[in-house]
Amino acid sequence: MSVDIATVRRIAHLARIAVEDSEIEKMRTEINAILSFVEQLSEVEVEGVEPMTSVTPMVMKKRADAVTDGGIPDIIVGNAPATEDHFFLVPKVVE
């Protein structure tokens, strides 16, 4: 696929970027180079290749999924203007 000057102007308009007439040809060359590279990627044989998240094999560090109350409820509600039984009290906003 090749991009012409009119297409470069349209892309610039859609992207909301100002492009001087002197820069159009350079941008056309760069966009065509990018599209050429993308076409090369489609030639790569990826059948049977497992998806990966990194180029080096690694296992994510995970913490135990344990529910706790934090053990510090008095400290948590310590700065609240109003509390009751370790809960924040807020004014009623819906009637």
**pLDDT per residue rounded down to tens, the chain (95 residues):** 789 999 999 999 999 999 999 999 999 999 999 999 999 988 888 888 888 878 888 788 888 888 887 888 889 899 999 999 989 999 889 87
CATH code, residues 5-41:
1.10.20
Query: Which residue bears the tokens 């700065």?
Result: 79
Query: What pLDDT was estimated at residue 40?
Result: 92
Of 35, 33, 25, give the one whose Cα is nearest residue 5. 25
Query: What pLDDT was estimated at residue 34?
Result: 94
Amino acid at 58: M
Query: What pLDDT was estimated at residue 54?
Result: 80
How does strand 83-84 pair with strand 87-88? antiparallel
Query: What pLDDT was estimated at residue 9?
Result: 95
| Paired tokens of 14 | 């859609």
| Paired tokens of 65 | 């999924």
Residue boundaries of the structural domains of the chain: 5-41
